[in-house]
Structure 1
Amino acid sequence: MQSKSLNSELCEYFTDLDSLPTASALCQQRDKLDISAFQRIMHLFVNAFDDYKTWKGYHVLACDGSDVNIAYDEKDEDTKRQNGNNKPFSQLHINGLYDCINHVFWDTSIDTATKTRECAALMKMIMRHDYPVNSIITADRGYEKYNLMACCIENNQKFVFRIKDINVFGSILSNLNLPHEEFDLDVTKILTRKQTNETKNNKDKFTIMKKESDFDYFDDDGFYELNLRVVRFKITKETYECLVTNLTRDEFDLNELKKMYHMRWNIETAFKMLKYIIGMMSFHSKNVISYNRKSMQQFYYIV
């Protein structure tokens, strides 16, 4: 499939015009395909090789998402969006788990336009674990969630996430007494929903989570101890970046963490190839199920 009309695609593919199927016939046959079949094919294909490269014994995976515009459907609230001119359009959000060294996608998930399930999609991928066991997952600031970090720790998943700086509102570091300079420190945060004098008067020790914030790992007493390694380093004379990880200093020092996070940008190039070079944006349907089917098919092609 390219970016031509469906009838043109059929004419180019079937050289015998006497047996040329109609566009309607192709659509009817396509509708019989199960979306999960493409994910199964991708899983079997990427696991068929044994010569993947690693860094210090680890696969470096990047998780991120990318928006995909589709034909506008005013009845579908899940895909509906509005631009700055209040002009409505429809969109899906593609989540991928990408191997930054070997340049393959190990897992995928298709979300609605609101992108509210990015972290949930990654948690589902971690639970499903259709990728190498010896992997480190990297992600940008959109994945700065306690629930996700706890999910990684409880499932023995190594991670390196970029987070907001210490003086930025909403950062997981904002209530800690940390130096305004470069550092590589271990921090402990005790998460809870309890509003007691002890938790409210010791904000450097306890983090009180809102009721609407998802968290699945409280103990029977309503607490969870989150142990993290946090690094902060300069990127310009006045600005810093922060990373949070559960990797030890014996495994990766500060410079290696910076290099690893830089590798995460390979997923941006992969999405560009997926959407514009391979042709995922050239849809031949107005049905959301067909969009999902096409997206999964293109993820399979990129490997």
Structure 2
Amino acid sequence: MKNNPKELRETLLSLIHDLKNGPGEHIRKPGVDFVRNRKLPFEKMIISILGMEGSSLTNEILSQYGCSMNVASAAAFVQQRAKIKHTALESLFHSFAQRTTVDSLFKGYRLLAVDGSDIHIPTNKTDLDSLYQSKDGRKLYNLLHLNALYDIKRHTYEDAIVLKGHLSNENRALTDMVDRSMMKTPALIIADRGYEAYNNMAHIQERGWKYLIRIKDHSAYSNGILHGFELPSEEEFDVDC
């Protein structure tokens, strides 16, 4: 499809409508939740969540729906949001990516870069899986970790996995995204040296894909893939495998 803003918006709204009319696997209590006519129905909730920026919840609601006695409260929004499973947004992400995909290839391959990034979230001292302490020991903060596959040619995200900081494993996230991909076009995975692992390479090869992974300097690290290899002493060299 042509990815112009109007068509993208229509596709997104259509997919949100499909989520609402689906079998209910994305709602915590199918047949109970989102049955009654409320100020924040399912579709409106999803659109609101996607459109949020960096303000407080109250200000976000006022910004989206205006100042009126009929505007839902922040408490009502939280109650409605709790009725939606996180799988709703995951399903929407994958459906939207699949429907809007236009292959832009490099020598027959999709170019997919993988990397991870920490995301600060509001401090919650009871959530130990995401709780960290600053180096000076004074400040507590919480982190999520985003793992993403990014299409370099199309400038879009192909997949993503978000986990609490202490539960995150970038290598496992990469293999999970590779294994569950529905792509029919072969891909070339590009990664930095944090993804240097034979298991990652094996999963990529099983899909029939290629990889370009930066690896650790054999002279500076003793635990990298190159450790123990007999390599030329020159600063630059090529080795045919």
Q: TM-score scaled to structure 2, two decimals?
A: 0.72
**141, 150, 157: which one pairs with 2:202?**
150
- SS of structure 1 residue aligned to 2:62: helix
Gaps of 5+ in 2: 1-51
The alpha-carbon deviation at position 95 of structure 1 amounts to: 0.5
- SS of structure 2 residue aligned to 1:18: coil
Q: Tell me if structure 1 keeps the 8 A contact 2:175–2:200.
A: yes
Once the two structures are overlaid, the 10-residue window that deviates more, 103-112 or 37-46, is: 37-46
- Cα-Cα RMSD: 1.8
**1:171 paired to 2:224:** yes
Alignment CA distance shift 1:25-1:113 (3 Å)? same
Gaps of 5+ in 1: 187-228, 230-303
**30, 42, 53: which one pairs with 2:81?**
30
**175, 178, 183: which one pairs with 1:123?**
175
Query: Counterpart of 1:27 in structure 2: which amino acid?
Result: V
* Aligned residue in 1 for 2:65: 14
Q: TM-score scaled to structure 1, two decimals?
A: 0.58
The alpha-carbon deviation at position 82 of structure 1 amounts to: 2.1
State the distance in 1 between where 2:62 and 2:224 align: 56
State the distance in 2 between where 1:142 and 1:104 align: 22
More strand as a share of residues: 1
Q: Tell me if structure 1 keeps the 8 A contact 2:186–2:208.
A: no
**125, 148, 157: which one pairs with 1:74?**
125
**1:114 paired to 2:154:** no
**1:184 paired to 2:235:** no
* Aligned ranges 1:41-120 → 2 under 5 Å: 41-49=92-100, 51-86=102-137, 87-114=139-166, 116-120=168-172
Alignment CA distance shift 1:17-1:40 (3 Å)? same
The alpha-carbon deviation at position 50 of structure 1 amounts to: 5.4
Q: Tell me if structure 2 keeps the 8 A contact 1:96–1:105.
A: yes
The alpha-carbon deviation at position 157 of structure 1 amounts to: 2.4
State the distance in 2 between where 1:115 and 1:172 align: 25
Alignment CA distance shift 1:184-1:132 (3 Å)? farther
The alpha-carbon deviation at position 22 of structure 1 amounts to: 1.0
What do residues 93-134 of structure 1 show as CA deviations (whole Å, max 9, x unaligned)?
000000011011011101221365110011011110144532
Alignment CA distance shift 1:184-1:114 (3 Å)? farther
- SS of structure 2 residue aligned to 1:173: coil
- SS of structure 2 residue aligned to 1:185: coil
The alpha-carbon deviation at position 16 of structure 1 amounts to: 6.3
Structure 1 runs, 4 residues or longer, greater than 4 Å off? none
State the distance in 1 between where 2:183 and 2:86 align: 19
Q: Tell me if structure 2 keeps the 8 A contact 1:59–1:99.
A: yes
State the distance in 1 between where 2:159 and 2:101 align: 18
* Aligned residue in 2 for 1:249: none
Query: Counterpart of 1:184 in structure 2: which amino acid?
Result: D
State the distance in 1 between where 2:149 and 2:209 align: 14
Query: Counterpart of 2:143 in structure 1: which amino acid?
Result: Q
The alpha-carbon deviation at position 77 of structure 1 amounts to: 1.6
What do residues 126-154 of structure 1 show as CA deviations (whole Å, max 9, x unaligned)?
11014453211111111111221222223
Q: Tell me if structure 1 keeps the 8 A contact 2:145–2:168.
A: no
The alpha-carbon deviation at position 71 of structure 1 amounts to: 1.5
| Identity among equivalent pairs (%) | 35
State the distance in 2 between where 1:165 and 1:132 align: 34
Query: Counterpart of 2:106 in structure 1: which amino acid?
Result: W
The alpha-carbon deviation at position 60 of structure 1 amounts to: 0.5
Q: Tell me if structure 2 keeps the 8 A contact 1:62–1:138.
A: yes
Which has the higher relative contact order, 1 or 2, with Cα contacts under 8 A spaced 6 or more apart? 1
Query: Counterpart of 2:233 in structure 1: which amino acid?
Result: H
* Aligned residue in 1 for 2:193: 141
User: What is the count of residue pairs matched by the alignment?
Assistant: 187
